[in-house]
Copies of this chain bind each other. A is one copy, B any other.
């Protein structure tokens, strides 16, 4: 008989049991010795909550949307501060549905899905499915955002952006931490390659085919050849010229870069180490969040710049910690894939449901009547909700 799946780790284990090793490893792995991979999770555990008691929190029980958040200066609304991080190749987890299942789950969970450039479903097909689901769940405010790798071929990149915009995607999430891909040894040991019946559909369209590989991770090699390592903050201006969508940069790990991003005029940043897949022995993301929040909030800007965080979010308490430390919302990566592998669209919905139940319970048990708005950390009633270890190390 099937075991009861009651937390994210249960979904992880069930997915592990179900997926081919090559696929599981691709989803799970991090760079080098995977120290940061562990640390992304463990850092959350080292941070302590300071629960307040005897506060009237009964509305969280009654009101489904008591923890909803508004993002991108009002353009976007999520049922609670959790979005779907972009991740490549969903059809390896759910052959039939793939990214379309995920899009449908985003609608049901009433939140944003960020589609990866490296999806195994065409941009337009994901958008279609999303539209269809929105009609079935008209109360949902779900949106699609598009994660962009700016490739060496700028014309092709321009076409990608235009396709996304045309298909109804509402924001561009530019990944800035991938001048090359990290050293993911599991993939190299498995000679990772996409199963024969799948393609990187968005790239394939452009006439690019994935190379074949023997002893090494062929796909990474292929993509590495197309990633543009000359990118600088000026390229954000180039992007502004070809699209009017809000721009979020993903992969900021220092206060210095956060400031450059704000100066470049972005609408949001994602504090991320790419799920520890790029470079090992960086900090966990939650540990650098405070320095980035205070750097960003120190700059006067006409519009509000959103701050997101991803990496290692596995419990509702993790979300609360990120929000209390100044994030507008978190993104989750691997848990989506575990849900998808276990039960397709429904599996993802179930995983998000766990996050939501745990998050609301944490909010109530910590005595939070509302969420901090992330805009003004010092006046937040929750500035003392979490306690960071004195030294980040």
Interface residues of chain A, those whose CB is within 8 Å of chain B, are 4, 6-7, 32-33, 35, 44-58, 60-61, 176-177, 179-180, 182-183, 185, 188-189, 215, 228-233, 235, 249, 251-254, 256-257, 260, 273, 278-283, 315, 317, 358, 361-362, 364-367, 384, 387-393
Residues of B within 8 A of A7 (CB): 32, 185
Q: A51-B254, A177-B365, A279-B361 are in contact. List 19 more A-B contacts (CB 8 A).
A: A6-B188, A35-B45, A49-B281, A51-B273, A51-B279, A54-B231, A54-B249, A58-B179, A58-B229, A179-B365, A180-B365, A256-B384, A278-B365, A279-B365, A281-B317, A387-B392, A388-B393, A389-B391, A390-B391
Residues of B within 8 A of A228 (CB): 58
The main secondary structure of chain A at its interface with chain B is loop
Whether A54 and B393, one on each chain, are in contact in the complex, defined by CB atoms closer than 8 angstroms, is no
Task: Provide the residues of chain B in CB contact with A364, threshold 8 Å.
Answer: 179-180, 229
CA distance A365 to B178 in the complex (A): 7
How near does chain B come to A58, taking the closest CB pair, in angstroms? 4
Contacts of A282 in B (CB 8 A): 48-51
> How far, in Å, is A122 (CB) from chain B's closest CB?
28
Question: What are the residues of chain B within 8 A of A384 when measuring CB–CB?
Answer: 254, 256
Nearest CB in chain B: distance from A275 CB, A: 14
**Which residues does chain B contribute within 8 Å of A233, judged by CB atoms?**
54
A189 and B4 contact, CB distance less than 8 A: yes
Say how far A213's CB is from chain B's closest CB, in angstroms. 12
Q: Note all chain B residues with C-beta closer than 8 A to A254.
A: 50-52, 384
